[in-house]
Structure 1
Amino acid sequence: MATQLLIYGQVEAVNKQRHLDWSIKAESHYGFAKQVNSVPLMAVEFPSAAEDYSIVFAGEGDDLLPVVIMGVRQDENLYIDEKGDWKANYIPAFIRRYPFVFASTDAGKTLTLCLDEDYAGCNQEGRGERLFDADGEQTHYLTKVLDFLQDYQTHYQRTQAFCKKLNELDLFEEMGAKFTLPSGEERTLTGFKVISREKLKALPQEELMALMANDGLELIYLHLHSMRNLNKVLQRLPKVQSEPDQPSIEIEESAEVH
């Protein structure tokens, strides 16, 4: 999960002393995420993301979060083409909030809005949306950015609670997926967790009812259904002209999704 930070470069707290004359010109390309093969996903995003991505889980303990798989190799995002266009209907909120991010030094009690000053859209020539007006007051644009990140933070906390409950119920198992690429190269995708169907079936009825009541069961089934999209990820690999065969995937039995 450390790779998620690679989309941020020179991160600085947003303030009117430093950024009074700064503007943000939204870029239409996503080259900043080209080398990230998974990003966090909030629980509220499952219905939209499940059509395009495989949703799995990464991390340990309180740091466990859902993520979407976007590549089968290190530093590879197969959902971004050579022009920097995002090739899927849904773009995760983690990506859409860039170049802004909340930072905290006290375990999330105090949040500070920060900006990646390396973002290509940052400028002091008035292109795009200003962060502050001539009087040093935050603009409507900056207010919308703050609202979006505060909403993201709220969903982040809800997602943490969801994952904590799944952990308490001991529903996770390690995922292992073996890939055979058109070139004949074999690779294994590990480091992620999935929900075990067998463990889910073995849950006491009262726990299942509790999951159903708070929409947790729906999220679980969306996750399980999304595992079918691993083949879609492979189909995004660059075609090898001399090898017309489609790449294939084999999910290890312990994490098989039917």
Structure 2
Amino acid sequence: MDTQLLFYKKAVPVTSEAHKDVSIRAAGHYGFAKEANSVPLVAAEFRAAASDCTIVFAGQGDEMMPVVILGMRDKQNLYVNEDGTWNGRYVPAFMRRYPFVFATAEDGASFTLFVDEDYEGINKNGEGEKLFDSRGERSMYLSQVLDFMREYQSQFARTRAFCQRLVEHKLLEPMHAQYTMPDGSPGRLSGFSAVNRDKLKELSGETLEKMLRSDELELLFVHLQSMNNLQPLLEKTAKAMQSDEDAPEADTKEDA
């Protein structure tokens, strides 16, 4: 599935004809992301996300982007509680924009706003924020959504350019994390890249100065520092596994 459509099941264009009576109830729940063990991050989020998340890079070539690791196992998000609430300090913008997403036109210069009609908070009962007023004009809420989406798209483009410079300077290298769970079973997290400290030190003074002035050097240090958050995430993984083991088995007996 397209990374940009990670959570979306039925994304359709937002129009006054199709959504004139539609409201969005923002429940503050993130159950839609419970099986996402990583999501993309834009550079402007690095400092906030690094407070309790691990920032790495995923993809190849032109598709390289920063991501935050949310779980050590496939289809596991340890930052989403059973009731759908978020237990971390920072919620990535990639998730906060849901159920909305921009679709890029073929020319790459224009965008269309889509909404996931499978979102549990979408309704025609007037619950939450309406997308359009009685005249079919954009509501203040929808205008705010568009402003947020435009800013996100702008930051996304800047972040992609930042990643391309890292690729050009050959600063990224594939990495993996091996660990052992309390029950003795081995685990391995792979498919991501991190900045190579030695290659960073080999950059010319001119390049380092440019990166310093553009704040890109600080972003790399924040990324490297965030790698220390892997250990707390491993501890959360162990607790989750222990909870699964302690959970009572479901009674599968059929009634007589």
TM-score above 0.5: yes
In the alignment, the residues of structure 2 paired with residue 3 and residue 161 of structure 1 have an alpha-carbon distance, to the nearest angstrom, of 18
Structure 2 unaligned regions, length at least 5: 246-256
Identity, in percent, stands at 50
Letter matched to residue 90 of structure 1:
Y
Partner SS state of residue 142, structure 2: helix
Partner of 1:42: 42
Partner SS state of residue 12, structure 1: strand
In the alignment, the residues of structure 2 paired with residue 3 and residue 109 of structure 1 have an alpha-carbon distance, to the nearest angstrom, of 20
Report the CA distance between 1:3 and its aligned residue: 5.8
Partner of 1:139: 139
Report the CA distance between 1:239 and its aligned residue: 5.1
In the alignment, the residues of structure 2 paired with residue 71 and residue 141 of structure 1 have an alpha-carbon distance, to the nearest angstrom, of 33
Report the CA distance between 1:2 and its aligned residue: 4.6
In the alignment, the residues of structure 2 paired with residue 142 and residue 2 of structure 1 have an alpha-carbon distance, to the nearest angstrom, of 25
- 1:92-111 Cα offsets, whole Å, 9 max, x none, are 00000000000124163220
Give the structure-1-normalised TM-score. 0.91
In the alignment, the residues of structure 2 paired with residue 110 and residue 142 of structure 1 have an alpha-carbon distance, to the nearest angstrom, of 18
Partner SS state of residue 175, structure 2: strand
In the alignment, the residues of structure 2 paired with residue 107 and residue 218 of structure 1 have an alpha-carbon distance, to the nearest angstrom, of 33
Partner of 2:18: 18
Give the structure-2-normalised TM-score. 0.91
Partner of 1:55: 55
Letter matched to residue 162 of structure 2:
F
In the alignment, the residues of structure 1 paired with residue 2 and residue 182 of structure 2 have an alpha-carbon distance, to the nearest angstrom, of 30
Letter matched to residue 240 of structure 1:
Q
Partner SS state of residue 208, structure 2: helix
Q: Which moved more, 1:228-237 or 1:62-71?
A: 228-237
- 1:14-54 Cα offsets, whole Å, 9 max, x none, are 00110010000101211000000000000000010111110
User: Relative to structure 1, is the Cα distance of residues 107 and 223 closer, same or farther in structure 2, using a 3 angstrom cutoff?
Assistant: farther
In the alignment, the residues of structure 1 paired with residue 88 and residue 234 of structure 2 have an alpha-carbon distance, to the nearest angstrom, of 14
User: Relative to structure 1, is the Cα distance of residues 144 and 29 closer, same or farther in structure 2, using a 3 angstrom cutoff?
Assistant: same
Report the CA distance between 1:5 and its aligned residue: 2.9
In the alignment, the residues of structure 1 paired with residue 122 and residue 136 of structure 2 have an alpha-carbon distance, to the nearest angstrom, of 18
Partner of 1:232: 232
Partner SS state of residue 6, structure 2: helix
Q: Check if 1:160 corresponds to 2:163.
A: no
In the alignment, the residues of structure 1 paired with residue 187 and residue 59 of structure 2 have an alpha-carbon distance, to the nearest angstrom, of 21
In the alignment, the residues of structure 2 paired with residue 107 and residue 173 of structure 1 have an alpha-carbon distance, to the nearest angstrom, of 32
Contact 1:3–1:36 (CA under 8 A) maintained in structure 2 = no
Partner of 1:108: 108
Letter matched to residue 88 of structure 1:
G
Report the CA distance between 1:81 and its aligned residue: 1.1
Contact 2:105–2:112 (CA under 8 A) maintained in structure 1 = no
In the alignment, the residues of structure 1 paired with residue 15 and residue 2 of structure 2 have an alpha-carbon distance, to the nearest angstrom, of 27
- 1:212-251 Cα offsets, whole Å, 9 max, x none, are 010010000000000000111112121527x9xxxxxxxx
In the alignment, the residues of structure 1 paired with residue 2 and residue 236 of structure 2 have an alpha-carbon distance, to the nearest angstrom, of 24
In the alignment, the residues of structure 2 paired with residue 233 and residue 60 of structure 1 have an alpha-carbon distance, to the nearest angstrom, of 25
